[in-house]
């Protein structure tokens, strides 16, 4: 059987204590109790059948009992098995587990402890099913996750709404192919690439580097063969990625704020900012 | 109701009205129409009680089951783990779809009309300016959240087995997000749009061997023109959203099939 996590056992024990149920102290008591309880439902299930045999008419078909003709058929069959005359009306068989038992007037208390069934064996789930999943500490999606998501969505909507009410999106003059603004800049997320253009041949900066970058990014999971996700085991991967992030951010920031007319290097505090979103 | 507790109003009448409203509510809540729409376990159903069974039903018996399992790992619910970045990227996409549809009512993708349409939207349409601002700032923000989401995933090592392929799909999503943003950038047809796109597309012309063909296919002409506008408009409002929705569906499905959120660290 899968292990029940420690804290769940503890929680259950506390709850049991609070409810005044037995087994509040340890898990062992709880399982013992469960075992003791187990036969009860089965006994209850068997009871109506027994009752209908012993006291015909008490629970009839229309009351949800076993149909009368079936009961009659079962009684005859059992009588045959017991070597009796099937025509005899007196006495019924026991229930399923007591097939070989000689006819009894009222089939109560055939087993030890007065039960009408026997517990043959307890089959642990692990022995007949392959249970691969470990028990995990889980919570219900509703409300725990949905509430968080809802709050995040609401906060995002509010932020965007307020920001948009205050800050206007730019709309410059009508597009004119004959009037090149100076400087001309790509959208901010491409400014790193535009920055590379100042250093490399356009094909290298515009095609080779971004192409390789994307390819490496896609291959990252297949290149990184370290199975651990603990930061301490991944110092190299983390350093590399941080370096990449910093390198890229610096390029975007330079392209955004430190490039003026002719895409020449300027200081924004001297020459102003040439940047539109 | 106004007469419920008016100073000289009929108190009795008010009570009756309240009781009647309650009764009406009960009737409506139990009617076949309502019960046929709202499935068992819904929090909107009459008599919802907070029980483990109903908590499961809320997910299992609703369209949410397409997105979420009934239970999730406890640590996955902590905001400090995912920082909600993937979810927020998705939510921004929804906001952008809604505001974008609004903008479409007022915009024609032609050289002659595009710019003045946007200007009219800013000045003459109710909430036009606000919605345009939301669409534009939301778009920039989405590029940012997707990028940060990717970084979060990397730092958690969440791209490792069995999630390798979802990372690859993620990179495609990043590309699609950038393309959506970039195609939208041209649509106002102002100086900013024209020249930003000129700079961006000039780079593609340097692709070896078929560079100029690629640029031509992208622009629909030798230089940026009205044809480019129509082409990018179609990409922006139809093709790219269609494709990104498919990839998002696969992305979310894989998150679940790969055993839910990674971790804990
Ligand atoms: C349109 C863009 C994207 C959307 C809407 C999106 C959405 C999501 C969502 C909702 C999750 C669930 C966990 C979370 O919120 O962090 C997720 C997980 C994930 N995403 Fe994305 N994502 C996008 C782009 C990306 C990108 C660019 C990458 C990587 C290159 C990526 C890789 C992953 C991976 C590997 C997971 C599993 C993480 C884990 O199990 O901890 N996604 N994504």
The predicted structure's pLDDT at residue B184: 96
Q: How far apart are CA B198 and CA B203, in angstroms?
A: 9
- Among A254, A272, A273, which Cα is nearest to A194's? A254
Quote the CA–CA distance of A165 and B191 in Å, as a whole number: 24
C-beta of B170 in contact with ligand 1 (< 6 A): yes
Q: What is the pLDDT of residues A181-210, one digit of tens each?
A: 888 999 999 999 999 988 998 888 888 999
Among the atoms of ligand 1, which is closest to the Cα of residue B247? Answer: 1
A185: nearest CA in chain B? B196
A152 contacts in chain B (CB < 8 Å): 79, 84, 87-88, 91
Q: Which is higher by pLDDT, A227 or B44? A: A227
Q: pLDDT-based confidence at A34, cuts 50/70/90?
A: very low
State the pLDDT confidence band at A137, using cuts at 50, 70 and 90: confident
Q: Which residues pair with A174 in a beta bridge?
A: B190
- The first and second tokens of residue A181, run together, are 């603004």
In chain A, count H helices and then E strands. 11, 1
Torsional sign, CA B216, B220, B226, B230: negative
Which CATH architecture is the domain A182-277 placed in? Orthogonal Bundle (1.10)
Chain-chain contact of A175 with B194 (C-beta, under 8 angstroms): yes
Looking at the predicted structure, is the pLDDT value of residue B195 above 90?
Answer: yes
Most confident listed range (A3-7, A125-129, B74-78, B226-230): B226-230
Distance, in Å, from the CA atom of B121 to the CA atom of B129, rounded to the nearest integer, reads 6
Comparing CA positions, the residue from A114, A112, A66 lying closest to residue A92 is: A66
Backbone φ and ψ for B242, nearest 5 degrees, come out as -60, -50
Q: Could A175 and B178 be called an inter-chain contact, meaning their C-beta atoms sit closer than 8 Å?
A: no
Mutate to test the pocket of ligand 1, among B147, B149, B173 (most ligand atoms within 8 A of CB): B149
For ligand 1, whether the C-beta of B156 sits within 6 Å is yes
Domains of chain B, start order: 13-67 (no CATH), 78-257 (1.20.810.10)
Asked if B115's CB is within 8 angstroms of A245's CB, the reply is no
Q: Do A174 and B191 touch (CB under 8 A)?
A: yes
Exposure string for B198-231, b = 16+ CB within 10 A, e = fewer: bbbbbbbbbbeeebeebbeebbeeeebebebbbb
Please indicate whether, in this complex, the C-beta atoms of A207 and B118 are within 8 angstroms of each other.
Answer: no
The pLDDT of A120-141, averaged and rounded, is: 73
B65-115 pLDDT per residue, tens: 888 999 998 888 888 888 889 999 999 999 999 999 999 999 999 999 999
B161-164 LR contacts (CB < 8 Å, sep 24+): B161/A221, B161/A227, B162/B258, B162/B259, B163/A221, B163/B254, B163/B258, B163/B262, B164/A221, B164/A222
Ligand 1 binding pocket mutation candidate from B145, B153, B159 (most atoms within 8 A of CB): B153
Closest C-alpha residue for ligand 1 atom 4: B86
Gap between the Cα atoms of A53 and B36, Å rounded: 44
> How many CB atoms neighbour CB B72 within 10 A?
20
Global pTM? 0.74
Yes or no: say if A69 and A147 are a contact pair by the CB < 8 Å rule: no
The chain B residue lying nearest A229, using CA atoms, is B157
Q: Which residues neighbour B206 within 8 Å (Cβ) at sequence distance 6 or greater?
A: A202, A203, A206, A207
Q: Which two tokens stand for residue B245?
A: 């929705």
Question: Does residue B187 contact residue B232 with C-beta atoms inside 8 Å?
Answer: yes
Q: What percent of chain A has pLDDT over 90?
A: 35
How close is the Cα of A81 to the center of ligand 1, in Å? 68
Angle between helices B164-186 and B240-257 (to 10 degrees): 160
The verdict on the CB of residue B85 being under 6 Å from ligand 1 is: yes
Interface of B with A in 23-52 (CB under 8 A): 43, 52
């Amino acid at each position: 059987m899968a292990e029940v996590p420690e804290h769940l056992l503890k929680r259950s024990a506390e709850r049991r204590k609070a409810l005044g149920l037995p087994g509040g102290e340890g898990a062992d008591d709880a399982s013992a109790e469960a075992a003791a309880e187990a036969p009860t439902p089965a006994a209850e299930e068997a009871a109506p059948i027994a009752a209908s045999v012993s006291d015909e008419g008490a629970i009839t078909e229309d009351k949800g009992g076993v149909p009368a003709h079936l009961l009659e058929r079962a009684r005859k069959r059992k009588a045959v098995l017991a070597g009796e005359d099937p025509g005899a009306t007196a006495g019924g068989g026991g229930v399923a587990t007591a097939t070989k038992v000689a006819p009894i007037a009222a089939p109560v208390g055939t087993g030890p402890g007065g039960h009408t069934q026997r517990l043959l064996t307890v089959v642990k789930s692990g022995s007949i099913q392959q249970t691969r999943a470990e028990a995990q500490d889980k919570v219900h999606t509703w409300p725990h996750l949905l509430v968080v998501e809802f709050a995040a969505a609401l906060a995002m909507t509010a932020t965007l709404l307020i920001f948009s009410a205050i800050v206007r999106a730019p709309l410059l003059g009508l597009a004119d192919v004959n009037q090149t603004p100076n400087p001309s800049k790509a959208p901010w997320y491409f400014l790193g690439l535009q920055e590379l253009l100042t250093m490399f041949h356009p094909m290298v900066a515009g095609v080779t580097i971004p192409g390789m970058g994307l390819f490496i990014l896609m291959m990252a999971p297949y290149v990184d063969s370290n199975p651990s996700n603990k930061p301490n085991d991944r110092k190299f991967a983390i350093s590399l990625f941080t370096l990449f992030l910093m390198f890229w951010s610096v390029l975007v920031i330079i392209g955004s704020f430190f490039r003026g007319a002719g895409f020449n290097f300027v200081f924004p505090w001297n020459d102003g900012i040439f940047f539109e979103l | 109701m106004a007469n419920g507790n008016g100073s000289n109003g009929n108190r009795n009448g008010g009570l009756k009205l309240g009781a009647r409203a309650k009764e009406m509510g009960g009737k409506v809540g139990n009617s076949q129409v309502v019960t046929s729409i709202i499935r068992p376990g819904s929090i909107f159903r009459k008599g919802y009680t907070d029980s483990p069974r109903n908590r499961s039903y809320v997910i299992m018996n609703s369209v949410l089951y397409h997105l979420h399992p009934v239970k999730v790992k406890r640590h996955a619910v902590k905001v400090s783990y995912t920082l909600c970045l993937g979810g927020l990227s998705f939510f921004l996409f929804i906001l952008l779809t809604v505001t974008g549809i609004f903008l479409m009512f007022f915009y024609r993708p032609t050289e002659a009309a595009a710019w003045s349409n946007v200007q009219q939207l800013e000045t003459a349409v109710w909430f036009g300016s606000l919605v345009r601002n939301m669409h534009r700032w939301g778009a920039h923000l989405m590029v940012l959240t997707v990028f940060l989401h990717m970084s979060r995933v990397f730092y958690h090592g969440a791209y490792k087995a069995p999630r390798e392929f979802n990372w690859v799909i993620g990179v495609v999503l990043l590309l699609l997000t950038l393309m959506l943003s970039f195609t939208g950038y041209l649509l106002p047809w102002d100086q900013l749009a024209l020249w930003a796109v000129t700079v961006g597309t000039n780079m593609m012309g340097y692709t070896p061997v078929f560079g100029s063909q690629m640029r031509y296919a992208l622009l629909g002409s030798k230089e940026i023109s009205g044809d480019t506008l129509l082409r990018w408009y179609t990409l922006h409002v139809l093709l790219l959203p269609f494709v990104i929705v498919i990839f998002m569906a696969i992305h979310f499905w894989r998150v679940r099939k790969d055993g839910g959120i990674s971790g804990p660290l």
